[in-house]
A and B are shown apart, each in its own frame.
Chain A
């Protein structure tokens, strides 16, 4: 609805009804040009307009926008495809799905390395019955180096592959960290890139993380413990993924819950800055880091 000044200088209410293809006003009607961008802009504008009405295709013909229904549907199809493409692009710009996919790949490689390592230890045992992991508590690379002695060629090749995979894993971890500092600069500054990326992945996306309250972020990744607590009388989880942050698992046991809570609260704010502003806020980061540090220290 528009208010227009009539010739006599009085204000009149003129009913202009806008559609994606034309403006109708009293008896007259103005069709829009067949231009993707102009039509797309018009549709975006109508979407924010609470008074927008369901379109009637006959108006498009009366108006001279199209000749018949099939032309109407054709143009609608083209413009809808175009808009969907634009929205897809926008979604990937703010949500950075690749970060989440990289994190999932990282976790998958981790579990693959663990599985393959377990298998090769079993294999090595069959070749060397006197071997026991009890005596030598070695892990990862050191364990594999030890096993190269006394393995046959087949097992040695597998061990080489696992080494390769472990290298890939650490280079991917660095890339995840770098990507997280780029798209989640504030969260990464507080908890480190890997933890920030894992939190976003667990939440389902950067937007979902930004919409979460701190209390939910604190127990993200502790789903089983949380639901166990909700349905039974078991104690609530103190921390989920945030446990991986040095300040949490490095604190004294009785203080971890407090550090996790404070960290999660600050991460919730950081995630919102990351999602809505997309750039680091040094003042916020410095203050938040101090608060988290105090939580570790204070009695």
Chain B
């Protein structure tokens, strides 16, 4: 991955969302993207040019565009029409983004198009986050990794974020998903965690 003076950048056509350009590279700010925050904390999975990625919760395509700069292909799943309009604009300029308008809860809607991938990245902020990841494990190639962005506040506001993280890891492991690492994203995103998971 490319760093310029402690700043994470990516290489690709700029002007996707008004990002700054440094020496011809697109600045990938840790304040705009949880995945960038994870890399700035010195963790996360190095993205490589042969990687195939399934991206759940693609939203407006901000983070997707940076991931696409690094990897071979990104399958970007987003159910809502409004963000999908923006995502399609991004995908028209980046041929390695495959936009899929579908609900990540119902992977049968995109099974016919998505191949086995090396990385599943999920950022959906839904109460049933863990179930959604479990439903998509089938796409993971053997040896693949899952990066799971956990927002405890959208799962349960009455328990502390740390308690929620523990219970989510338990519910993942009941579904055959092992959590190798849990990284809190402060100071960039308070009360958000990234879980690095693998299949048991």
Contacts and interface: CB of A to CB of B under 8 A. Distances in A.
B109 A73 contact: no
A81 B84 contact: no
A57 B82 CA distance: 31
Contacts of B112: 19-20, 43, 46-47, 52, 55
Contacts of A31: none
A54 B108 contact: no
A14 interface: no
Contact of B84 (A19, A56, A84): A84
A220 B142 CA distance: 47
Nearest to A46: B112
A127 B72 CA distance: 70
A83 interface: yes
Contact of B81 (A20, A54, A83, A88): A88
A81 B99 contact: yes
B116 A80 contact: no
Interface in A14-56: 19-20, 43, 46-47, 50, 52-56
Contact of B91 (A47, A53, A77, A88): A77
A74 interface: yes
A73 B73 contact: yes
Nearest to A47: B109
A76 B113 contact: yes
Contact of A80 (B72, B99, B111): B99
Interface of A: 19-20, 43, 46-47, 50, 52-57, 73-74, 76-77, 80-81, 83-85, 87-88, 91-92, 95, 97
Interface of B: 72-73, 81-82, 84-85, 87-88, 91-92, 95-101, 108-116, 138-139
